[in-house]
């Protein structure tokens, strides 16, 4: 009986030791995984933003799906232009004299493929729809629209992924806390979001630490 009690006590000691260890190291490990995955996801979103801005510059609106966006990068062309001030004399019938007219002349210098300009020799953009988290085959959601802002029609877009997808294999209690985060140095809310469908924005809802240059 004495030996059985001692064995039970040792089991309880080991169990509570593990619980104490897990309560301390669980959040530490969770934050480590979270920050690494958020950095990868946000990096991919920045690539999407780069492609979307180029799409709007060339076509006047944002792509509404990844097939269109990838196709644009594959086949799109930037026109290289140069603007310069110029002037000329024009006869004015009212004043009956030659008057100086100032104009801006736009010269076409050449053309360059979008993929060469934005992504050099990389073809990673073809996978931009995929969330870069090992063990997950999830994809980002993407939407585009044109909204009215002060009487002007303005193109907008939004790319989004749920934190629960990015942290799919992590502790549920810690994930719940993360989804309720409201902090100046955190990604607030249950999703990582780029852009907006209600405001004119090409920014993400992540803190500036994720925009710092990689060391």
pLDDT per position as a tens digit, 49-76: 999 999 999 999 999 999 999 999 999 9
Q: What are the tens digits of pLDDT across the range 111-159? A: 889 999 999 888 989 999 999 997 778 999 999 999 999 899 999 999 9
Q: Could you tell me which residues come within 8 angstroms of residue 149 by beta carbon, excluding any fewer than 6 positions away?
A: 200
- Position 23 scores a pLDDT of 58
pLDDT at 18 over 60: no
Task: Round to whole Å and give the CA distance between 133 and 173.
Answer: 20
Q: Could you tell me which residues come within 8 angstroms of residue 157 by beta carbon, excluding any fewer than 6 positions away?
A: 52, 62, 63, 64, 142, 143, 144, 145, 195, 197
State which H helix or E strand residue 105 sits in: strand 97-113
Secondary structure in 3-state letters for 168-206? CCCCHHHHHHHHCCCCCCCCCCCEEEEEECCCCCCCECC
Q: Mean per-residue pLDDT for 92-108?
A: 82
- Position 99 scores a pLDDT of 84
Choose between 189 and 94: higher pLDDT.
189
Query: pTM of the entire structure?
Result: 0.78
pLDDT, the chain, mean: 87
pLDDT band at 107 (very low <50, low <70, confident <90, very high): confident
């Amino acid at each position: 009986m004495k030996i059985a009690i001692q064995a039970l006590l040792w089991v309880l000691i080991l169990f509570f030791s593990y619980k104490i260890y897990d309560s301390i190291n669980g959040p530490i490990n969770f934050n480590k995984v979270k920050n690494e995955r958020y950095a990868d996801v946000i990096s991919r979103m920045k690539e999407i933003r780069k492609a979307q801005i180029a799409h709007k510059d060339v076509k006047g609106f944002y792509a509404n799906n990844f097939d269109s966006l990838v196709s644009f990068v594959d086949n799109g062309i930037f026109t290289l232009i140069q603007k310069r001030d110029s002037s000329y004399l024009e006869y004015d019938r009212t004043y009956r004299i030659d008057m100086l007219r100032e104009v801006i002349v736009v010269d076409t210098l050449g053309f360059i493929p979008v993929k060469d300009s934005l992504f050099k020799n990389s073809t990673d953009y073809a996978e931009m729809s995929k969330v870069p988290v090992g063990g997950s085959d999830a994809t980002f959601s993407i939407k585009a629209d044109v909204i009215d802002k002060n009487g002007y029609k303005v193109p907008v877009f939004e790319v989004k992924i749920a934190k629960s997808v990015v942290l799919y294999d992590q502790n549920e209690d810690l994930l719940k806390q993360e989804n309720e985060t409201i902090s100046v140095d955190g990604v607030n809310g249950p999703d990582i979001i780029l852009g907006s469908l209600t405001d004119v924005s090409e920014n993400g809802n992540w803190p500036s630490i994720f925009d710092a240059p990689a060391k």
